[in-house]
Amino acid sequence: MMKDKKYKGIGASDGIATAKAFLLDKPIFKIDDSKISNVDQEISKVNAAIEASIKNIEHVKTIAIDKIGAEKAMVFDAHAQIANDPELKNEIISIIKDQKVNGAYAIDVVFKKTHDLFANMEDDYFKQRASDVEDVRTKILSFFLNIELPDLLAIKSEVIIVADDLTPSETALLDKKYVKGFATNIGGRTSHAAIMARTMEIPAVLGLKDITNAVDKNSMIALDGSTGDLVIEPSDLSVWNKKKEIFLKEKEELKKYINVKAKTLDGVEVDVVANIGKPEDADNLDSYGAEGIGLVRSEFLYMENSKWPTEEEQFNAYKYILEKQKNKLVIIRTLDIGGDKKLNYYQFPHEMNPFLGYRAIRFCLNNPEIFKTQIRALLRASAFGRMGIMFPMIATVDEFLKAKNIVEETKKELTKEKIAFDSKVLVGMMVEIPSSAFLTDKFAKYADFFSIGTNDLVQYTFAVDRMSENVSYLYQPNNPALLRAIKATIEGAAVHKKFVGMCGEMAGDIRSIPILLGLGGKGLDEFSMSASSILRSKKVIASLKHSECVELANKAIDCDTAEEVNNLVENFLQKKNLI
Ligand code: PEP
Ligand code: MG
């Protein structure tokens, strides 16, 4: 067997893994339209396969609930619904009756048609349903044809899963005790498999193009989830074991920063806080060293519901988060829906450029009942801790004032109704559109705080679709143009002594943190990032002098290109042994 076959993919979840491959082969069904003579018998075989699939889905669901909780296991409800769908079943039966063809053929035709119907829909939510339909097709056919599927639940030794992609239902079944890593043909840092890998803290390399063909069953694999390197049959496992040891040792060492206030060597304090999606994400933030929450993406509450969440549901969710955080500041962003974020109970109007269209605060200001329900829930929850309410996608002062006005109106209503809220609740905004970055000094008269959303600010500064792989070379957070927009925000906010944080991915990138600490002479006040990046960021901050970051930032904004800035920062970090 050839040794040391090297591959490079996208590092999607940090960590080193070495283990045997578990090839998640999609089964190949040989299906033709051969005729049958006994129609009734064929129909009862189809019924039996559907029944067995439903039972199997129910069984898998109970196991998944145990492993990942009821909410994430909901994907299996969708599967059961599809398998149970009477229309699909009737269509299969009609085909068998009318054409006298075998059941596998009829199942295949009906499910493929349904799959294509979903896959061709504009709406991302329905597009994703196509993969659920495909999962159910595979399951029913495997029962019908008596072909065993790779059984993720049967994994009882250490493996690295190698697959084309991992569907939500597959990731839900993985046992962290045995699954040491993922390697997939497709996907990137924001794909479902990547997000699951980071949540489960399993090292992952994705986007390897053809890894499923390169790997044999039982090949030994080593991968590095930060660099994206993967080796099949590594000749020297000891090198990888050493890497693993260093990674784990560093992870252990970083723990000393858990309860240490983020502070530079020359005593400048900043807040290093977490971005979260769901209330449960607030459960053990202390163990990640979080000093508060800089972004609650409240849209998760809406996206995971089957209808608009009620005031009570929202109140309970926000209160839960505030109570978990005790006296730490929790910034909750109001509904940021539209663009790539869809709801299954609301159809957004079709637009040529949804990212530039009807979304976030634009949608909320146009739907005051929906917006007000959220503001009431937020204000009521504000009585249980320290809250900042943050509006997304603000482009003009007028928009901010309209949104703030709704908060003020709602406060008056609650006072009249004698319902408690915190009168000192902060009201701030995201800076993710260049127009607001350059006018921050004006916004600062009215807003209590700012949080820079670089994920979108980069997109709108360079006119680069953040989801497009074709133009990803233009996605340049460290480009001096973006750094100048951030500097303008920091300086504008300082005019009225308002604080500025950042909750885009850039805030947790150690190749940007030193610049962000120094931009505008003052730097950011707060860095908000995914919880798993907090300790390393705290270490970097604790290893730097603020004064030298100011110097570095001044040099960076004077560079011509992002590449020049990247070289500058890398030299800076290398000299300090931080990379
Ligand atoms: C951002 O745009 O940087 C941000 C934090 O918001 P989201 O990624 O949710 O658009
Ligand atoms: Mg955004």
CATH code, 125: 1.10.274.10
Burial-class residue 346 by CB neighbours within 10 Å (0-12, 13-18, 19+): middle
**Domain-located, residue 244:** no
Same domain, 164 and 140: no
Same domain, 510 and 413: yes
Same domain, 59 and 189: no
Alpha-carbon gap, residue 93 to 109, rounded angstroms: 12
Same domain, 417 and 526: yes
Tokens of 268: 């400048």
Alpha-carbon gap, residue 430 to 526, rounded angstroms: 13
Q: Are 357 and 393 in contact (CB under 8 A)?
A: no
CA 347 to ligand 1 centroid distance, Å:
22
Same domain, 567 and 481: yes
Q: Write down which residue in 239, 257, 290 finishes a domain.
A: 239
pLDDT digits (tens, 9 = 90+) for 437-490: 999 999 999 999 999 999 999 999 999 887 776 888 898 999 999 999 999 999
Residue 557, pLDDT score? 98
Q: Are 368 and 322 in contact (CB under 8 A)?
A: no
**Domain-located, residue 85:** yes
Q: Which ligand is nearest to the CA of 299?
A: 1
Residue 255, pLDDT score? 95
Same domain, 447 and 527: yes
pLDDT at 189 over 70: no
Alpha-carbon gap, residue 447 to 19, rounded angstroms: 52
Banded pLDDT at 190 (limits 50, 70, 90): low
Buried b (16+ CB within 10 A) or exposed e, 138-158: bbbbbbbbeeeeeebeebeee
Annotated binding residues for Mg(2+), as ranges?
A: 432, 456
pLDDT at 391 over 90: yes
| Ligand 1 site residues, Cβ closer than 6 angstroms | 295, 297, 336, 432, 453-456, 503-504
Average pLDDT, stretch 292-311? 92
pLDDT digits (tens, 9 = 90+) for 213-271: 999 888 999 999 988 999 999 999 999 999 999 999 999 999 999 999 999 999 999 99
Pocket test for ligand 1, best of 456, 457, 505 (most atoms within 8 A of CB): 456
CA 49 to ligand 2 centroid distance, Å:
45
Residue 124, pLDDT score? 60
Same domain, 424 and 493: yes
Please name which of 451, 446, 450, 468 lies closest in space to residue 459, comparing C-alpha atoms. Answer: 468
**Domain-located, residue 247:** no
Same domain, 12 and 63: no
Beta-bridge partner residues of 431: 452
Q: Are 242 and 262 in contact (CB under 8 A)?
A: no
Alpha-carbon gap, residue 203 to 180, rounded angstroms: 7
**Domain-located, residue 109:** yes
Q: Are 363 and 402 in contact (CB under 8 A)?
A: no
Q: Which domain holds residue 109?
A: 39-145
- Concatenating the DSSP letter of every residue in 410-444 gives HHHHHHHTT----TT-EEEEEE-SHHHHTTHHHHT
Classified as helix, coil or strand, 40 is helix
Residue 277, pLDDT score? 86
Same domain, 273 and 229: no
Range with the poorest average pLDDT among 163-167, 187-191, 273-277: 187-191
Alpha-carbon gap, residue 450 to 432, rounded angstroms: 10
Q: How many domains does the chain have?
A: 3
CATH of the domain at 229: 3.50.30.10
**Domain-located, residue 259:** no
Residue 68, pLDDT score? 67
Pocket test for ligand 1, best of 336, 363, 516 (most atoms within 8 A of CB): 336
CA 461 to ligand 2 centroid distance, Å:
13
What pTM, to 2 d.p., does this model score? Answer: 0.75
Same domain, 49 and 11: no
Helix (DSSP H) and strand (DSSP E) numbers for the chain: 22, 16
146: left (phi over 0), alpha (psi -120 to 50) or beta: left
Range with the poorest average pLDDT among 63-72, 94-103, 366-375: 63-72
CA 248 to ligand 2 centroid distance, Å:
33
Residue 134, pLDDT score? 87
pLDDT at 123 over 70: no
**Domain-located, residue 260:** no
Tokens of 483: 């750094």
Which atom of ligand 1 is least distant from the CA of 339?
Answer: 10
Residue where the block lists tokens 């039972």: 55
Which atom of ligand 1 is least distant from the CA of 452?
Answer: 3
pLDDT digits (tens, 9 = 90+) for 85-109: 999 999 999 999 999 999 999 999 9
Same domain, 174 and 134: no
CA 385 to ligand 1 centroid distance, Å:
24
Burial-class residue 2 by CB neighbours within 10 Å (0-12, 13-18, 19+): exposed
**Cα(first)–Cα(last) distance of the chain, in Å?**
35
Average pLDDT, stretch 346-362? 93
CATH of the domain at 468: 3.20.20.60
Buried b (16+ CB within 10 A) or exposed e, 471-483: eeebbbbbbbebb
Which atom of ligand 1 is least distant from the CA of 506?
Answer: 3
Q: Write down which residue in 145, 167, 184 finishes a domain.
A: 145
Q: Are 16 and 247 in contact (CB under 8 A)?
A: yes
User: Helices in 454-523 by DSSP H: which ranges?
Assistant: 454-462, 480-495, 513-518
Which amino acid residue places its CA nearest to atom 3 of ligand 1?
Answer: 453
CA angle 42, 112, 108 (to 5 degrees): 20
**Domain-located, residue 257:** no
> So which residues are the catalytic ones?
192, 503
Q: Write down which residue in 145, 179, 206 finishes a domain.
A: 145
pLDDT at 192 over 80: no
Residue where the block lists tokens 């999607």: 12
Annotated binding residues for phosphoenolpyruvate, as ranges?
A: 297, 333, 455-456, 466
Which amino acid residue places its CA nearest to atom 8 of ligand 1?
Answer: 455
**Domain-located, residue 377:** yes
- Residues whose CB falls within 8 Å of the CB of residue 527, separated by 6 or more in sequence, listed in order: 262, 270, 271, 272, 273, 294, 501, 502, 507, 508, 513, 516, 537, 541
Q: How far is CA 80 from the centre of its chain?
A: 26
Same domain, 421 and 472: yes
